[in-house]
């Protein structure tokens, strides 16, 4: 690193002690967009830490891929270790590498494809349970549905009877860690405040559900193709499997990340379709033509290109993982600036996915943009809803498959009608969430489009 290189610029407007915290907390997404407009690497002061937003795809690739060994997860992400332990999201070094290798076979493309039937049957059960025109919270529905899918497909377990407890616990954990206060000021967690006791109770609830699944599965004979069976049987080169604590940490990571992010993507997709009836009509026509009376399968998805384009465009506009971070573990130079060891670097998918250089009319919902080979033409990190490099989300193919299958399954029977025309309010916490309920009614699909029979395989 050249000692003559300057430090990256800091955005104006920092206040004593709190820096840009007030402006950031007031509207995080707009603040990140304003940083990106100032240059390829611009900083913000958030209380006791400085963080720098990296904008250009080539520079992001350098951090996440070509020079990834010079970085580890940022301070905010490492703070999630108090919930996730040493799971794939938060661990580093040899621990991360060992766990990644043990988990990788369960996420092989062929293994993921086998989960498609469980996904479709769970979505069909949900659709058959709906009362036409009943007023409901879309996000809550999608959270419960994807919770059941991840429990069945990954753990071969049914947690529907604990779904409400799990939802409350996840919401509370997300809220407490999403505002960054505990991460920026860890000593706050030691104060005898009611919310801190509730946080411990929420984590205990999640532990109880997951460890209950593990105990139940350990009591069964060995075998099975779900993730938990594979983890119980997996051994590294030294013949060691995962300890109970390691198992808990990985299951907690997959359980939380594996259902909330897809639930968010589905919620946003239905909102976008509800506000763009022409796109919804085109998608439903494709689903009708390809599926007829059948449930979608992994094999039929290749004949649903518009459904996939709708999912990709939803992830562009509303990526559930809206930003990721790294910390430099050695001195280096980036974008012509001096980056000292310990510097926090942020990369925001929400920002990059709205770059008009790569996405004309970036605020418009235009699934057609993905039908002409755009994925191959884009710079590698102009679009990266699942991150990238060695630390790319291990469940990315599972999530894409699940979102497309659930979307197609529900639209065979229902249209999701928004009952609130106000702009969608967002809460960028750990993930990008809707602020408050998304109030909808499920309207039966028009009779001329289908006369559906029950699926050949009973969803019960």
Give how far Cα 125 sits from Cα of 182, 262, 418, 459, Å: 39, 18, 22, 6
pLDDT digits (tens, 9 = 90+) for 95-141: 999 989 888 888 888 888 888 998 999 999 999 999 998 999 999 99
- What percent of the chain is predicted at pLDDT more than 90? 57
Is 50 inside a domain boundary?
A: no
How far apart are the two ends of the chain, measured CA to CA in Å? 62
Residue 16 has pLDDT above 50, yes or no: yes
pLDDT, mean over the chain: 88
Binding residues: 393
Alpha-carbon 143 to chain mean position: 12
What is the C-alpha to C-alpha distance for residues 340 and 8, in angstroms, rounded to an integer?
10
Is 255 inside a domain boundary?
A: yes
The count of residues in the chain is 460
109: domain CATH number is 1.10.630.10
Task: Supply the DSSP symbol for 159.
Answer: -
Is 56 inside a domain boundary?
A: no
Phi-psi region of 107 (alpha: psi -120 to 50; beta: other; left: phi over 0): alpha
Q: Which of 64-73, 232-241, 424-433 has the highest mean pLDDT?
A: 64-73
Among 160, 354, 386, residue whose Cα is nearest residue 265: 386
Sign of CA dihedral 264, 267, 268, 269: positive
Number of domains in the chain: 1
Is 232 inside a domain boundary?
A: yes
Among 9, 108, 65, 45, residue whose Cα is nearest residue 401: 108
What are the beta bridge partners of residue 50? 45
pLDDT digits (tens, 9 = 90+) for 371-384: 989 999 999 999 99
CB contact at 8 A, 146 and 262:
yes
Lowest model confidence (mean pLDDT) among 179-188, 251-260, 285-294: 179-188
Is 16 inside a domain boundary?
A: no
Residue 220 has pLDDT above 50, yes or no: yes
> What's the helix, strand, coil split of the chain in %, to 5?
55, 10, 35
Instruction: Grade residue 185 by pLDDT with cuts at 50, 70 and 90.
Output: low
pLDDT of residue 458: 42
Residue 388 has pLDDT above 60, yes or no: yes
- What percent of the chain is predicted at pLDDT more than 70? 90
pLDDT of residue 49: 87
Sign of CA dihedral 73, 79, 85, 89: negative
> Between β-strands 344-347 and 49-54, what pairing exists: parallel, antiparallel or unpaired?
parallel
Residue 452 has pLDDT above 50, yes or no: no
Task: Supply the DSSP symbol for 444.
Answer: E
Is 47 inside a domain boundary?
A: no
Is 287 inside a domain boundary?
A: yes
pTM: 0.90
Structure tokens at 379: 């710079």
pLDDT of residue 146: 93
197 vs 308, residue with greater confidence:
308
Is 51 inside a domain boundary?
A: no
pLDDT of residue 63: 97
Averaged pLDDT for residues 1-24: 88
What is the C-alpha to C-alpha distance for residues 364 and 382, in angstroms, rounded to an integer?
17
CB contact at 8 A, 329 and 71:
yes
What is the C-alpha to C-alpha distance for residues 38 and 11, in angstroms, rounded to an integer?
8
Instruction: Grade residue 203 by pLDDT with cuts at 50, 70 and 90.
Output: confident
CB contact at 8 A, 367 and 313:
yes
Lowest model confidence (mean pLDDT) among 236-250, 277-291, 361-375: 236-250
Binding residues for heme: 393
pLDDT of residue 57: 98
Name the residue range of residue 361's domain.
Answer: 86-321+353-449
């Amino acid at each position: 690193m050249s000692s003559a290189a300057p430090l990256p610029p800091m955005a104006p407007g920092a206040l004593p002690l709190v820096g840009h915290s007030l402006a950031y907390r007031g509207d995080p997404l707009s603040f990140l967009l304003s940083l990106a407009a100032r240059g390829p690497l611009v900083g913000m002061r958030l209380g006791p830490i400085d963080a720098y937003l990296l904008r250009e795809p080539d520079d992001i690739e350098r951090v996440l891929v070509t020079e990834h060994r010079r970085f580890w997860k940022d301070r905010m992400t490492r703070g999630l270790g108090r919930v996730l332990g040493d799971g794939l999201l938060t661990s580093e070094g040899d621990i991360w590498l060992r766990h990644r290798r043990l988990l990788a076979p369960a996420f092989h493309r062929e293994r993921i494809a086998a989960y498609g039937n469980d996904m479709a049957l769970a979505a069909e059960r949900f659709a058959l349970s709906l009362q036409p025109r009943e007023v409901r919270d879309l996000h809550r529905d999608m959270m419960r549905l994807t919770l059941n899918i991840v429990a069945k497909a990954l753990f071969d377990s049914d947690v529907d009877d604990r779904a409400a407890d799990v939802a409350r616990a996840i919401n509370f954990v997300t809220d407490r860690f999403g505002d960054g206060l505990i991460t920026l000021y860890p000593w706050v967690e030691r104060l005898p405040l009611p919310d801190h006791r509730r946080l411990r109770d929420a984590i205990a609830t999640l532990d109880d559900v997951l460890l209950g699944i593990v105990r139940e599965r350990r009591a069964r004979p060995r075998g099975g193709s779900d993730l938990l069976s594979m983890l119980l049987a997996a051994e590294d080169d030294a013949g060691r499997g995962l300890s109970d604590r390691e198992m808990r940490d990985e299951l907690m990571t997959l359980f939380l990340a594996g259902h909330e992010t897809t639930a968010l993507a589905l919620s946003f997709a239905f909102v976008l379709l509800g506000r763009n009836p022409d796109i919804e009509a085109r998608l439903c026509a494709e689903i009708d033509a390809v599926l007829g009376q059948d449930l979608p399968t992994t094999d039929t998805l290749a004949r649903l290109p518009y459904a996939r384009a709708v999912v990709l465009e939803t992830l562009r506009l509303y990526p559930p993982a809206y930003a990721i971070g790294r910390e430099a573990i050695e001195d280096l130079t980036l974008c012509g600036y001096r980056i000292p060891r310990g510097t926090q670097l942020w990369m925001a998918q929400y920002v990059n996915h709205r770059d008009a250089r790569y996405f004309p009319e970036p605020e418009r919902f235009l699934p057609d943009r993905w039908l002409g080979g755009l994925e191959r033409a884009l710079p590698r990190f102009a679009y990266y809803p699942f991150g990238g490099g060695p630390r790319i989300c291990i469940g990315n193919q599972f999530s894409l498959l699940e979102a497309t299958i659930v979307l197609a399954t529900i639209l065979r029977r229902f249209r999701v009608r928004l009952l609130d025309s106000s702009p969608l309010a967002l809460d960028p916490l750990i993930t990008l969430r809707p602020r408050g309920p998304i109030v909808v009614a499920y309207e039966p699909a028009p009779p001329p489009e289908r006369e559906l029979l029950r699926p050949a395989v009973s969803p019960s």
